[in-house]
Structure 1
Amino acid sequence: MGKINFIFAIHFHQPVGQLKWINDGIYERSYKLLLEIFEKYADLKFTVHISGPLLLFLNEYYPEWINRIAKLGDLGTIEFLAGSMGEAILPILPSEDRYYQVKEYMRYFEKLFGYKPKGMWLPERVYEPSLPEVLSKNMIEYTFIDDSTLQRGGHSSDKAYYSWLTEESGRTLKLFFIDTGLRYVLPWSSSEEVFNYILSKSSEEGDRVIVWGSDAEKFGEWKDPDWAWNWLNDFLSKLRERDDILLVHPRDYLKEHGVKGLIYLPSGSYDKMLEWSHGFFRNFLIKYVESNNMHKKMLLVRKKLKQAPEVADIAWREYHLGQCNDAYWHGLFGGIYLIHLRQAIYEKFIKAEKLAEETIDYYRDKNLVFNYIDFDYDGKREVLVETPRYNIYIKPDDGGTIFEYDYKEKGKEHNIQNTMTRYMEPYLENTGFIPDWYRRVSSRIHLWSPDTGLNDWINNTPFKDQSDLALRKYSVIITREHKIILRTLGGHYVYGLKPAKILVEKTIEFKNNGITTNYELVNYGERPVDTLIGIEYHVSPKIDLINKDSPIIYRIESEEKNVEEQWKGISRKIIVKSKVFPDIVLESSDRENEIWVSPLNSLARTEKGLMKVFQGIAIMFVKKTVLKPKDEYSVKINWFIGENLN
């Protein structure tokens, strides 16, 4: 009869920016339950990882839970795994940050528990061959990766049932392999089926090990708590009586059996992550421009922090928490499509940026700093305008648009341009969904056909924009008066008519608490242009992450509307209101233009099926006009934070 060692590794994690009432609910339904299970079966051996962001949350709101689970570590029931402080995907970080993410977690864990773990949980089990050096420098002896990584390296699947040694630059790391098949049966099948699966990997020698490593939320959150309680009690009570499946800690297995030998492996993760990322996690930075934007914001902030060696430690802590992985990708559910997660990432980076700027006296006697750099690493330069109170980032080659608007006032840090483009996802095929054909940011110009309506715009009815201005590349001039002029020559196209050349000029002026943009459109064609001139903005209101009953509204023409409501009519001003942020105001100089307002909702898969997910407020200033040859239309739009532009 064969025997096998069994590592039961449970991963507790909630992301930076998770809504407090969501965390509270998961704590009540899942985390309390699991702690009670650990205490009831204290004679067994569990392996536990608590992510950095969740550890911070639990220590603040549920310290007694931390105290109780720490005692189980002292008793020998639980072996804890280290992690990265921000639960960051280590390979996508600068090399120093990879090291400090782990170091900071170890420091904080030791502060709470009194010692440093020897093993580590890799966020999303994203492995690259450079990691052994980073982990070894932090005195990490072993980690868990998925058996799919083993198979990608051309190795036999049987190797997954032993520990192996790898190295990078002479720095060694021991590897355990999480069994994909076991993840799909535990806890979804009966105890007997799980035992049968585990024993199918056993050997007469009893030196093999099988690893289950997955989310704590599978117990009490993914399925109801009563079911989870009953399943765990049945499974563990029966496991306790068996002598052919030995529940062990990783460190004890290594002491008794050691490693099988040397191995080298390619990049990898678990099977579904490989599917979603097309085999390589960094592909998310290419698929989602919003993911790349956060990542490159990270790199920019890091440069400022490195210039400020005396900056407070809290700045680095905020920076590291801004690297939390969940907002950078999308798989089954949520992720980058959750506006509050992206909001929190920007909030962390803006806080760190502000602290660095204050430390090095970044502005000195200036109110404005202009940088003309390739911010997003696409080979084209962007214009970054920085002030002590806000940042404006402009992308000339994407319609001369504003793609980031950071508010930097202490306690109110927020990117009000934190909106999300709607992408085609595999699960949206054949649903009638039409993805966005341009990035949902601000200051984009359209020439709509005269029959275009609000729903055509927000739902992407094809061929309604009759110009190429929305995606044109704009030239850039920075004037002596510190204004930015963006200029392009595009066309207006109607079937059967000669194209009409349209000159567009945007002049942006920077005020104390916002910007003024003057738009000028001139018809240089030989025919009239009958059109709806649309100037598009998007606003990301600040979400209250603590209080559930904190609605966001917008006010227009003395009406107050919920952000999920549309509005269309003659107006020149809209105010977006949140209880946790000053008013965000957009106002036009044209008293006769229309304003179209709509929620920007993506269609995303959730635990409850396909649902609309709020991504921001879409706002279009619309002018119905006929531009005759040489005619000009001009309008000034203010975009500011507070009661008045100053």
Structure 2
Amino acid sequence: YRSPARRRNIFVMGEPRHIIIHGHFYQPPRESPWTGLISPEHGASPFQNWNERILSECYTANAHAHTMQGSVVHVRNNYESLSFDVGPTLAGWLQTHGKTAYRAMTRGDALYAASHGGHGNAIAQSYSHSILPLLPPRDRELQIGWGIDDFVFRFGRKPAGMWLPECAADDDTLASVAAAGVQFVILASDQGNFRGPGAETRGAGPFQWRSGDLSLAVFRFDRELSNTVSFGDGLADGARLAEWIAVTALNLEPGAALMIATDGETFGHHSKHGASELARALKALEERDDVIVTNCDDYLATHAAAGSFEIPAATSWSCPHGVERWRSNCGCRNDASTSQEWRAPFRAAMDFVKYHAEATYDRFAPALVKDPGAFLRGGIRLLIDPNPAVHEETFKRFAVTVEYNREMLLRMIEMVRAGQAALTSCAWFFDDFGGLEGRVALRWAARAVELAAEHSASVENELLERLRGINSNRRENGDAATLYLSLKTREARGRV
């Protein structure tokens, strides 16, 4: 990135355009809810599982991306220049199994923040990657609050922005984000009504959303350029990509920002040489005098809103039908021969588990802690941070001194978290619940049901009744109940 001194010299010549490239890094909680280990995943060969494969191809590759200049090899940490979010379910796994990448992410954020007034590259993500507009207010606020706590633990500061899973948003979601103290979100350019001087351009804004006393900045990413990076040949040549970006940005007003956003896994996993070509693009852009590579927080600190934003209905970046992809047979699928009639009843079954876990907590937690709602919101740190001193401080803050009560509350938070994990978005994104992603949801549902049964009669038989009528597109999977029982049996064998 350009030093502040060099940036001041550029401003004398006329304010350049600003470039923001954002990577959304996420993996579902593939670990066993019982052992914390990921079972072998055949498609990830030659690696044991997809997390390990993507770690090698993407997360670590971006930590030390290689570029050539003549005969000289340059190695850079792309996280020092890339705006990014890393999902809590992925960050927790990286902390143990991908330490090089994890340190590069936190260090990249810290280095940029140190030289740019505290405006780091990282932003938060809601905790379980569930679709926020489909959640009731309590769950939505829990997801946002847990995501903020996870971010503070990992990056040591409060997040200025938050990535909404699948960019799924509506007015209620934006209100919850704003109420939590977050300053901005990122949406696609076709996800609402952008108005004002910058609305007719390809600029990122920001645009101001308001509802009563609440307000939120909305940055919009350029669909065309983002799609070129995600699905086209944008990463075939980093120098060419930098030129495309710069030419597009220079058509904006002086001082305006252009934004690209894509899945972070594009940079090395989906695109084989994505990490090195991203490094080439960043290097080429940073060597120019007419553009500045920055992030949303840094840009927002010195630029006023370019207009206003309104969102008429729930919307997302990956479903033209709003948020139907995660609850109905809306037509979004990869294989046209498959049916998505399973989506609605599968959603209802996972909702049933989540609500049961919450009802169990609401019934039994008041006997263990004076303010069970506040404890549920703030107690997630117990599952994030293994430091015994943090556990002691957390329990003391909520006046929980009895060891038995502490143990029960810890298991109850794990129960609620498991119920929330059963709603991770990727379980509905693809063509069948029998894939790896749907199996993740079923395993976490089983764990939530098991933990809830420690306090009251098990609802597993009722859950199985709901799952029996949900048929897979793959004959070998049978129905969802059969798959659920098969997964539980395998898990039990693995723990013997």
1:175 paired residue among 218, 229, 246 = 218
Q: Is the 8 A contact 1:91 1:131 kept in 2?
A: yes
Q: Which has the higher helix share?
A: 2
TM-fit CA distance, 1:114: 1.6
Q: Is the 8 A contact 1:291 1:329 kept in 2?
A: no
Alignment of 1:6-21 (within 5 A): 6-17=19-30, 21=49
Alignment identity in percent?
Answer: 16
What secondary structure, in the 3-state scheme, does the structure 2 residue paired with 1:139 have? coil
1:37 paired residue among 59, 62, 65 = 65
Task: State whether structure 2 residue 470 is matched by structure 1 residue 581.
Answer: no
Q: Deviations over 1:418-471 (max 9, x none)?
A: 964329xxxxxxxxxxx99xx9549xxxxxxxxxxxxxxxxxxxxxxxxxxxxx
TM-fit CA distance, 1:144: 0.1
Task: State whether structure 2 residue 452 is matched by structure 1 residue 320.
Answer: no
**Partner of residue 235, structure 1:** 281
Q: Which amino acid aligns with 2:88?
A: G
Take 1:75 and 1:55, find their aligned partners in 2: how far apart are those partners? 19
Q: Is the 8 A contact 2:201 2:252 kept in 1?
A: no
**Partner of residue 495, structure 1:** none
**Partner of residue 136, structure 1:** 178
TM-fit CA distance, 1:343: 2.9
What secondary structure, in the 3-state scheme, does the structure 2 residue paired with 1:358 have? coil
- Structure 1 residues 160, 230: closer, same or farther in 2, change over 3 A? closer
Take 1:182 and 1:299, find their aligned partners in 2: how far apart are those partners? 41
Q: Which amino acid aligns with 1:293?
A: A
- Structure 1 residues 233, 161: closer, same or farther in 2, change over 3 A? closer
Take 1:119 and 1:66, find their aligned partners in 2: how far apart are those partners? 20
What secondary structure, in the 3-state scheme, does the structure 2 residue paired with 1:82 have? strand
**Partner of residue 461, structure 2:** 391
Take 1:272 and 1:539, find their aligned partners in 2: how far apart are those partners? 27
- Structure 1 residues 293, 153: closer, same or farther in 2, change over 3 A? farther
Structure with the greater relative contact order (CA < 8 A, sep ≥ 6): 1 or 2? 2
Task: State whether structure 2 residue 292 is matched by structure 1 residue 246.
Answer: yes
Q: Which amino acid aligns with 2:240?
A: E
Task: State whether structure 2 residue 335 is matched by structure 1 residue 307.
Answer: no
What secondary structure, in the 3-state scheme, does the structure 2 residue paired with 1:580 have? helix
**Partner of residue 129, structure 2:** 87
Q: Is the 8 A contact 2:229 2:262 kept in 1?
A: no
Q: Which has the higher strand share?
A: 1
Q: Is the 8 A contact 2:17 2:292 kept in 1?
A: yes
**Partner of residue 212, structure 1:** 260
- Structure 1 residues 419, 56: closer, same or farther in 2, change over 3 A? farther
2:96 paired residue among 36, 57, 60 = 60
Take 1:327 and 1:315, find their aligned partners in 2: how far apart are those partners? 19
Q: Deviations over 1:149-172 (max 9, x none)?
A: 136999954275310111234211
Q: Is the 8 A contact 1:343 1:542 kept in 2?
A: no
Task: State whether structure 2 residue 318 is matched by structure 1 residue 262.
Answer: no
Q: Deviations over 1:169-214 (max 9, x none)?
A: 4211110001101112236234335533543343574221111111
**Partner of residue 505, structure 1:** none
Alignment of 1:393-408 (within 5 A): 393=463, 402-404=465-467
Q: Deviations over 1:97-153 (max 9, x none)?
A: 111111112212222322221101110001111122211222110010110113699
TM-fit CA distance, 1:2: 9.1
Q: Which amino acid aligns with 2:218?
A: L
- Structure 1 residues 249, 286: closer, same or farther in 2, change over 3 A? closer
**Partner of residue 22, structure 1:** 50
**Partner of residue 200, structure 1:** 248
Unpaired runs of at least 5, structure 2: 1-13, 32-37, 40-48, 67-74, 114-119, 330-342, 369-408
TM-fit CA distance, 1:541: 5.5
- Structure 1 residues 184, 285: closer, same or farther in 2, change over 3 A? closer
Q: Is the 8 A contact 2:77 2:108 kept in 1?
A: no
Report the TM-score, using the length of structure 2 for normalisation. Answer: 0.69
**Partner of residue 456, structure 1:** none
TM-fit CA distance, 1:318: 2.1
Take 1:174 and 1:208, find their aligned partners in 2: how far apart are those partners? 15
**Partner of residue 46, structure 1:** 82
- Structure 1 residues 301, 121: closer, same or farther in 2, change over 3 A? same
What secondary structure, in the 3-state scheme, does the structure 2 residue paired with 1:115 have? coil
Q: Deviations over 1:550-608 (max 9, x none)?
A: xxxxxxxxxxxxxxxxxxxxxxxxxxxx653369xxxxxxxxxxxxxxxxxxxxxxxxx
TM-fit CA distance, 1:11: 1.1
Unpaired runs of at least 5, structure 1: 364-385, 395-401, 405-416, 424-434, 443-536, 545-577, 584-646
- After the TM superposition, which of the residue ranges 74-83 and 196-205 deviates more from structure 2? 196-205
**Partner of residue 509, structure 1:** none
Alignment of 1:440-519 (within 5 A): 441=479
TM-fit CA distance, 1:24: 0.4
Q: Deviations over 1:599-636 (max 9, x none)?
A: xxxxxxxxxxxxxxxxxxxxxxxxxxxxxxxxxxxxxx
**Partner of residue 149, structure 1:** 191
**Partner of residue 319, structure 2:** 273
**Partner of residue 510, structure 1:** none
Q: Which amino acid aligns with 1:216?
A: G
Task: State whether structure 2 residue 227 is matched by structure 1 residue 184.
Answer: yes
**Partner of residue 373, structure 2:** none
Take 2:180 and 2:134, find their aligned partners in 1: how far apart are those partners? 18
Take 2:209 and 2:194, find their aligned partners in 1: how far apart are those partners? 16
Q: Which amino acid aligns with 1:13?
A: Y
Take 1:42 and 1:228, find their aligned partners in 2: how far apart are those partners? 11
Q: Which amino acid aligns with 1:323?
A: L
Alignment of 1:550-569 (within 5 A): none
What secondary structure, in the 3-state scheme, does the structure 2 residue paired with 1:210 have? strand
TM-fit CA distance, 1:12: 0.9
Q: Is the 8 A contact 2:124 2:147 kept in 1?
A: yes
